[in-house]
């Protein structure tokens, strides 16, 4: 399963910090940002990904995060 999120992450430093945090919570997931995409996309790939968990982690650090359809 792959979940794709729109974020307001703007630079690679922010993305690296968030990747480390997300990997702590989702250690078996493949996680990456595409900051060249107009939606600053966050992709999370894994067997059991809960979008609400990802959104809450991002929001707790002050970032917007929405599931893209």
Residue 69 in this model has a pLDDT that exceeds 90: no
Return the CA Rg of the chain: 11
Q: Give the Cβ contact number of residue 10 at 10 Å.
A: 11
Which helix (H) or strand (E) covers residue 44, if one does?
Answer: strand 41-45
Specify the pTM: 0.94
Mean of per-residue pLDDT scores for the chain: 96
Which pLDDT value is given to residue 35?
Answer: 97
- The 10s digit of each residue's pLDDT in 32-60 is 999 999 999 999 999 989 999 999 999 99
Asked whether 5 and 67 are in contact (CB, 8 A), the reply is yes
Q: According to the model, what pLDDT value does residue 13 have?
A: 97
């Amino acid at each position: 399963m792959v979940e794709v999120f729109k974020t307001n992450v703007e630079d690679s430093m922010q993305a690296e910090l968030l990747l480390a945090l997300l990997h702590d919570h989702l250690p078996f997931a493949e996680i990456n940002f595409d900051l060249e995409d107009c939606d600053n996309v966050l992709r999370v790939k894994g067997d059991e990904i809960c979008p609400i968990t990802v959104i809450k982690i991002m929001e707790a650090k002050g970032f917007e995060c929405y599931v893209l359809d």
